[in-house]
Amino acid sequence: MGESISDGTLATFLKKPGDRVEIDEPIAQVETDKVTIDVASPEAGIIQEFVAKEGDTVEPGTKVAIISKSADGAAPSMSASKEAVSQPPPTAEKAEEKPKPKVETTRVIEKPKPASPPTPPKVSASEPQLPPKERERRVPMTRLRKRVATRLKDSQNTFALLTTFNEVDMTNLMKLRSEYKDAFLENHGVKLGLMSGFVKAAVSGLQNQPIINAVIDGDDIIYRDYIDISIAVGTPKGLVVPVIRNAEKMNFAEIEKEINTLAKKVNNGTISIDEMAGGSFTISNGGVYGSLLSTPIINPPQSAILGMHSIVSRPMVVGGNIVPRPMMYIALTYDHRLIDGREAVFFLRRIKDVVEDPRRLLLDI
């Protein structure tokens, strides 16, 4: 596992005792705080037994299975499991015997009920009936979900969170995308999306307001001379944030290619820990799910996060006339201990200016 990972949870076995495995064939999956890692078989043979159990916490070097190079090793585990199955009946009998005194106790308690007035039944009848426990499922949290929960709660407890908002007219960026999408795809082999425009706008904003790219470390402020943009991606297992390294040195095509590569790895579950480590600023696009407005929470130890939202056609006043425009609300949540409202508003204004007029990037104005 990676250097930053000390242990993990044995999530599931992909094979069963008695199954044949080849060299480097995955036999189990270990869930860490960030990614799920396959445990590969070091030898070809028959799985004799599993030493560890699903749900166990394992470290590098922990034995999880015994693999026999012959088929003889499968028998002991089968007989052992049969013995284990044959043992439960006595315990079950004991469990059946225990409830008997409890039944007598409840009968004693129920005796006073006839003497009670008829009013309580009417009140209880009007109370909402809770669903039976049989209709509920209790599932343990995954390591990734636990890690996300801990980090976000730490963020809330540590940072002085404040959010400022603005709105962006997406007309020009969408027009640019519409006019050049075919030529862009032909030349670069990747589609031109809106995210690259926001990444370039964020880079410009961070260069104008370097405090937003900085971080508090004890009594010091660390200013970063690089811009690594984390892109928040929601998955069924939890939130992951792959990082676009040195975004300030990349053009639109390079950003789109990197986003495309990272998105494929996230969907396939092959993204590595190194590809999610670090990051100096995060962009979260809730608009892909239809979010109109939200207050994103900072991804520690960063100091700010930009939230994008859905594009909605709204009536706007342009040149004294009311016209429909594709509008997007944007939000910046920042650590008010480090960043003042002035810098936050200037940064969001820069995002608005660049997205509404991408030509500013060419002229550096």
Residue of 283, 282, 286 whose CA lies nearest to 328 = 286
| Separation CA 179–CA 52 (nearest Å) | 58
Count CA atoms within 13 Å of residue 91 on its CB side. 5
The identity of residue 173, as a single letter, is L
Question: Is 275:171 a contact under the CB 8 Å cutoff?
Answer: no
Q: Is the dihedral of CA 336, 339, 342, 348 positive or negative?
A: negative
Residue of 241, 231, 205, 218 whose CA lies nearest to 337 = 218
Which residue among the candidates 336, 353, 357, 364 is catalytic per the annotation?
336
Maximum C-alpha span of the chain = 89
Phi/psi of residue 306, nearest 5 degrees: -100, 130
Cα 77 to the center of its chain, rounded Å: 38
Question: Is 299:282 a contact under the CB 8 Å cutoff?
Answer: yes
If you write DSSP's letter for every residue of 107-131 in order, what string do you get?
HHHHTTGGGS-SHHHHHHHHSPPPP
Which residue among the candidates 19, 72, 274, 340 is catalytic per the annotation?
340
Which tokens go with 1?
A: 């596992």
Q: Is 220 a catalytic residue?
A: no
Which tokens go with 349?
A: 């204004």
Which tokens go with 211?
A: 């405090």
Estimate the crossing angle of helix 99-110 against helix 88-97, to 10 degrees. 20
Count CA atoms within 13 Å of residue 90 on its CB side. 3
Q: Distances from the Cα of 342 to the Cαs of 209, 247, 299, 338, in angstroms?
A: 10, 25, 22, 12
Q: Is 7 a catalytic residue?
A: no
Residue of 223, 268, 227, 269 whose CA lies nearest to 244 = 227
Which tokens go with 158?
A: 């540590």
**Residues with catalytic annotation?**
336, 340
